[in-house]
Amino acid sequence: MTSQAPAVRGKAAGSRRQSWLQRRSVRRVIASAATYAALLVLAGLSILPFLWMVSTSLKDPGSVFLFPPRWIPDPVVWSNYYEALTFLPFARYFANTAFITVANIVGTLVSASLAAYAFARLRAPLKSLIFLMILSPMFLPGQVTMIPLFILYRHLNWIDTYNPLIVPAFFGGGAFNIFLLRQFFTTIPLELDHAARIDGCGEAGILWRIVLPLSKPALATVTIFSFMGHWNDFLAPLIYINSSAKLTVSVALSRFRGEYGTTAWHLLMAASIVAVLPCILIFFFAQEYFVRGIQMTGMKG
């Protein structure tokens, strides 16, 4: 009797512990189920506008205005895309926008890499002061310089040309890109520079053969963000471009509504989908650089 008592007590404690563990794991299962349920709802909310966009773009004009709306278009009108893209010369606008975007990417990569290399590797008097000065425009709202720049470009006869949209990129490529590349360049070991120098490489050679090849992730990030920024840019082309043959996709889209009437939602959505398609494709093919770029931008604070 007395010898059994501790065993009984031991067993009771054991079952208590077991039920505690069980309760704990049940709680975990419920918590993780709730997590996934919430994530699924959020994912659904994220996707819904896209589905709606695609659905509308394939409807015939009559079924766009049905209540309740029908998700699966019947009939499926693929020719909406043809009509939307030929009503205005969208191929032209795509080419225009692509030209501006590519020119900006080239200018940014060249001039930001040069400056970033200088800040990461070369010694010079006043270097840190100049670095601060170069970075200072990051906090300056563009509206402050917008008006004098317009007047300057007007004097240069640059209005209604692509110069105002392209030339600035060749002069530094944006404070933020210089900063980002400089941070990346400083992580490349100096020993590699020394080795290259012994082999007879000059600074330009080191930049071209050592630093840039090792900085592909950072360069990809700069390229992608530059692409997104200029592909979607609205205010600058709105200000500087007047002739309809020179319009960019985003300005053309904004005019589409006025020119076709406000009710042609099937065509507007078709045109919008085509306009954002390059960005979505780039996102899916270069997602890791996106994430890395965003993390780098967020981590600088």
Partner 1 sequence: MVLRQSNTRREAVLFYVFVGPALLGLLIFTLGPMVASFYFSFCDYEIVRAPEWVGLANYHKMFFVDKLPLKSLGVTAYYSFVGVPIRLVAQFLVALLLNRALFGRSLFRTVLYLPSIVSGVALSLLWVWLLNPEFGLVNYLLWEVFGIQGPRWLSSPDWVIPALIVMSMWGIGGGIVICLAGLQGISEELYEAAELDGASGLQKMLRITVPHMTPVLFFNLIMGIIGSFQVFTQGYVMTGGGPSNASLFYVLYLYWNAFNYFRMGYASALAWVLFAIILAMTGLIFRSSSAWVYYEGSVQM
Site residues for partner 1, 251-290, by CB under 8 A, read 251, 253-254, 257, 265, 268-269, 272-273, 275-276, 279-280, 283, 287, 290
The single residue among 61, 160, 235, 242 that binds partner 1, judged by CB under 8 A, is 235
DSSP 8-state code for residue 211: I
Residues 86-125 that bind partner 1 (CB under 8 A): 111-112, 114-115, 117-119, 122-125
Smallest distance from partner 1 to CB 91, Å: 17
Nearest Cα neighbor of 181 from 210, 220, 132 is 220
- Residue 144: what residue type? V
Tell me the CB-side half-sphere exposure of residue 86, using CA atoms within 13 A. Answer: 5
- Our finding on whether 78 is near partner 1 (CB under 8 A) is no
CA distance 291 to 300: 15
- Our finding on whether 129 is near partner 1 (CB under 8 A) is no
- Our finding on whether 241 is near partner 1 (CB under 8 A) is no
Phi and psi at 141, nearest 5°, equal -65, 135
Smallest distance from partner 1 to CB 280, Å: 6
Site size toward partner 1, by CB under 8 A: 93
Smallest distance from partner 1 to CB 54, Å: 11
Instruction: Identify which of residues 1 and 45 has a Cβ nearer to partner 1 in the complex.
Output: 45
CA distance 139 to 189: 31
Smallest distance from partner 1 to CB 212, Å: 13
Instruction: Identify which of residues 10 and 152 has a Cβ nearer to partner 1 in the complex.
Output: 152
Q: Where are the alpha helices (DSSP H) in 156-286?
A: 163-166, 175-185, 190-198, 203-206, 212-214, 216-232, 235-240, 249-260, 265-285
Answer yes or no: are the C-beta atoms of 280 and 232 closer than 8 Å: no
CA distance 301 to 298: 6
- Our finding on whether 127 is near partner 1 (CB under 8 A) is yes
The single residue among 90, 173, 184, 270 that binds partner 1, judged by CB under 8 A, is 173
Instruction: Identify which of residues 10 and 205 has a Cβ nearer to partner 1 in the complex.
Output: 205
User: What character string, x for contact with partner 1 (CB under 8 A) and - otherwise, covers 3-42?
Assistant: ----------------------------xx--xx-xx--x
The single residue among 159, 239, 246, 260 that binds partner 1, judged by CB under 8 A, is 239
The single residue among 140, 195, 216, 242 that binds partner 1, judged by CB under 8 A, is 140
- Our finding on whether 242 is near partner 1 (CB under 8 A) is no
Q: Residue holding tokens 């590519």?
A: 102
Smallest distance from partner 1 to CB 171, Å: 3
Instruction: Measure Cα distances from 212 to 117, 123, 177, 186, 203 in Å.
Output: 9, 19, 14, 12, 12
Nearest Cα neighbor of 104 from 244, 225, 204, 213 is 225
Residues 52-71 that bind partner 1 (CB under 8 A): 52-53, 56, 64-69
- Our finding on whether 146 is near partner 1 (CB under 8 A) is yes
- Our finding on whether 48 is near partner 1 (CB under 8 A) is yes
Answer yes or no: are the C-beta atoms of 104 and 84 closer than 8 Å: no
Smallest distance from partner 1 to CB 6, Å: 28
Q: How many CB atoms lie within 10 A of CB 113?
A: 24
